[in-house]
């Protein structure tokens, strides 16, 4: 029996592995549920960032720069939408960088039907923990950047930073869903990410 390292990327499926689950966004009900959960995460993140900023203010750390002090509400709304779009691109690029760090060459794409952008590595099989790191990397990286920027900004600029960070949290709902599924399987699980979903391979036919 082949014993795989905890963190590995393979170009071929080892002997004895079988497809045990295929994760896709085919069900309209599932898409609605994930969107609702994503909205709840976004709202929760907004409240958390507000609390964080309140704590910063209480301790005198909310005196940072404000590049948007004189911006009009309409322009602020447009800037927010543009910034969130840029953040989504960066989100997928971080996935791609994480793939590359483990030795997998990613490809990028957009599914207009499902309304998602993705970074995929469908020619590779990633061990469970490798895939978890790749999947959650944008959530952690952008959250850390958001927190760092909130400590040096104020006013409308701080609000924009918080909205971008919160949107990333809400937009990570798919990554978190994949994470909860993969964690139900043993560490030697192998995952093939094809962009709009993933295939899970385990040593037996049993599903969880």
Domain residue limits, the chain: 18-202
Residue 109: pLDDT band (50, 70, 90) is confident
For 128-148, the pLDDT digits (tens) are 999 999 999 999 999 999 999
Considering the entire predicted model, what is its pTM?
Answer: 0.89
Alpha-carbon distance of 59 to 157, in angstroms, equals 19
- Residue 111's Cα: distance from chain center in Å? 16
Backbone angle region of 43, left / alpha / beta, with phi > 0 → left and psi within -120 to 50 → alpha: alpha
Please give the helix or strand (H or E) that residue 193 lies within, else none. Answer: strand 190-193
For 35-88, the pLDDT digits (tens) are 999 999 999 999 999 999 999 888 877 678 999 988 999 999 999 999 999 999
Alpha-carbon distance of 95 to 9, in angstroms, equals 15
Residues making up the chain, counted from first to last: 208
Cα three-residue angle 32-128-18, rounded to 5 degrees: 90
Contact between 205 and 28 under an 8 Å Cβ cutoff? The reply is no
DSSP string, 84-146: HHHHHHHHHHHHHHHHHHTT---EEEEETTTTEEEEE-TT-EEEHHHHHHHHHHHHHHHHHHH
Alpha-carbon distance of 177 to 73, in angstroms, equals 35
Residue 112: pLDDT band (50, 70, 90) is low
Alpha-carbon distance of 44 to 38, in angstroms, equals 10
- Higher-pLDDT residue of 111 and 73 is 73
Q: What average pLDDT does the chain have?
A: 91
Long-range Cβ contact pairs of 56-63 (< 8 A, separation 24 or more): 56/150, 56/151, 61/151, 62/154, 62/158, 63/154
């Amino acid at each position: 029996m082949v014993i795989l390292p905890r963190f590995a990327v393979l170009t071929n499926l080892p002997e004895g592995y079988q497809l045990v689950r295929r994760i896709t966004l085919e069900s309209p009900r599932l898409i609605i549920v994930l969107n609702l959960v994503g909205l709840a995460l976004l709202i929760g993140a907004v409240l958390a960032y507000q609390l964080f900023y309140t704590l910063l203010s209480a301790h005198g750390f909310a005196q940072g720069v404000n590049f948007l002090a004189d911006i009009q509400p309409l322009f602020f709304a447009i800037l927010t939408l543009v910034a969130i779009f840029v953040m989504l691109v960066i989100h997928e690029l971080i996935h791609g960088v994480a793939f590359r760090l483990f030795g997998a060459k990613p490809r990028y794409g957009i599914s207009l039907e499902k309304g998602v952008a993705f970074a995929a590595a469908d020619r590779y099989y990633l061990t469970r923990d490798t895939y978890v790191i790749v999947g959650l990397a944008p959530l952690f990286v952008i959250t850390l950047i958001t927190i760092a920027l909130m400590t040096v900004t104020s006013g409308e600029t701080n609000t924009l930073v918080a909205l971008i960070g919160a949107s990333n949290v809400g937009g990570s709902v798919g990554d978190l869903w994949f994470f909860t599924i993969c964690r139900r399987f043993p560490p030697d699980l192998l995952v093939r990410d094809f962009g709009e979903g993933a295939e899970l391979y385990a040593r037996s036919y049993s599903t969880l």
